[in-house]
Amino acid sequence: MPGQESAAEPAPAHSRRTPALPPELTKLLRTGPFDVALRAAIRASGLSLERIRYRLHRRGVPVSITALSYWQSGRRRPERPDSLLAVRHLENVLSIPEDALSALLGPPRPRGRSRGDTGAPPLTSLWSDSTAAAQLLARVDTSPDSNLTRLSQHDTVSIDALGNQRGVHARQLVRAERGGVDRWVTVFDSAGTDVAPPTVSALRSCRLGQVLTDHTRGVVVAELLFDRPLERGETMLMEYEVEHPAGGLRGTEQDHTYSRRFRLPVREYLVDLRFAPESPPLRCESYLTRPDGSEIGTPRSLVVDPQGRAHAVALDFGLGSCCVRWEPASVHTGTNAS
């Protein structure tokens, strides 16, 4: 059946032949660290975490997607006997030499929270209100997210004379808290609208990886791969763009909104609204919400200047969403990003 794994089991580890590996992966399997090497091996295999979980399960080795994600992010590492056995099967699933990953584990680490363990909920939980977003996120590697400090995020939202969103230019500055961080995963949810999902373009210091789209429910999940893996403490200034189909993002909800969700704190968030100067909104305001969507405090009115521009700022904010909404004399809509 299309999309199903074959029921046949791979050959035992002692008789299998491993294919030629990329030079970078070969080096990481010699030097480590374990999480970076595992992440590189998964990337080279072309398998999603769900497919890896499935193949391990068929071998009688139950490992959750969450555990695999934590192992490759460095938040956790396999230490229990059943986890160490899973790593040996994982080497076979990923077609890398026997003991290549196991040899990188070393002695158990002291218990307690590490620098990379933020205590923040998984990225999928940030989209618990969107089944489509959570399902798509489960198919990509989101492990680097916990190891990126959000220093600055700047969204420029273009809005036409009818009040419809035409696109977003995103510019963000992040810092790696571990070596080997190599991507940012972004989500756009335009549920409730009556147009196709937007397209995502990489503009600076990144390129598109996987782009997963749920056309029925208007959700896009895109990997933005850095030009190279970052060293610990290194900063990355990246830019990307989201464009909506001709006619802009128009929908059926009773307000026009734009929001960005934050799983981890951001030092500075700026959303810059660019309205058509000849058609300013009747009302424009910003507000913050908790992860459950409930609003925090009182909305703040935004001033729209003669050029049709308005902005809102949030400092040291997260977990939650920074939002803006406006009221044009037209049909209404809403969208989310992270």
Residues 69 and 173 in one domain: no
- Calpha distance 96→20 (Å, rounded): 9
Q: Of 248, 246, 245, 215, whose CA–CA distance to 333 is shortest?
A: 248
Whether residue 11 is contained in a domain is answered as no
CATH number of the CATH domain containing 68: 1.10.260
Q: Which domain holds residue 81?
A: 23-104
Amino acid (1-letter code) at residue 210: Q
- Calpha distance 255→113 (Å, rounded): 42
Q: What is the pLDDT of residue 10?
A: 36
Residues 268 and 136 in one domain: yes
**Rounded CA Rg of the chain:** 22
Q: What is the pLDDT of residue 159?
A: 92
Count of domains forming the chain:
2
Q: What is the pLDDT of residue 2?
A: 38
Nearby residues of 261 by Cβ (< 8 Å), 6 or more positions away:
126, 127, 187, 320, 321, 336, 337, 338
- Calpha distance 141→229 (Å, rounded): 14
Residues 199 and 328 in one domain: yes
Whether residue 319 is contained in a domain is answered as yes
Residues 127 and 68 in one domain: no
Which residues in 105-141 are b (16+ Cβ under 10 Å) and which e? beeeeeeeeeeeebebebbbebbeebebbbbbbbebb
Q: What are phi and psi of 315, to 5 degrees?
A: -115, 135
Strands 266-274 and 148-159: parallel
Residues 187 and 248 in one domain: yes
Residues 275 and 313 in one domain: yes
Q: What is the dihedral of CA 87, 93, 97, 102, to 10 degrees?
A: -10
Residues 225 and 316 in one domain: yes
The parts of the chain modelled with pLDDT lower than 70 are 1-19, 106-122, 124-126, 128-129, 191-196, 247-255, 330-336, 338
Residues 96 and 37 in one domain: yes
Residue 292: count other Cβ atoms within 10 Å of its Cβ.
8
Residues 287 and 242 in one domain: yes
Q: What is the pLDDT of residue 111?
A: 47
Whether residue 333 is contained in a domain is answered as yes
Whether residue 13 is contained in a domain is answered as no
Residues 81 and 138 in one domain: no
Q: What is the pLDDT of residue 272?
A: 97
Q: Beta partners for 269?
A: 153, 314
Residues 212 and 290 in one domain: yes
Q: What is the pLDDT of residue 7?
A: 32
Q: What is the pLDDT of residue 121?
A: 65
Residues 99 and 148 in one domain: no
Whether residue 265 contacts residue 252, with contact meaning beta carbons closer than 8 Å, is answered with no
CATH number of the CATH domain containing 272: 2.60.40
Q: What is the pLDDT of residue 108?
A: 54
Q: What is the pLDDT of residue 194?
A: 55
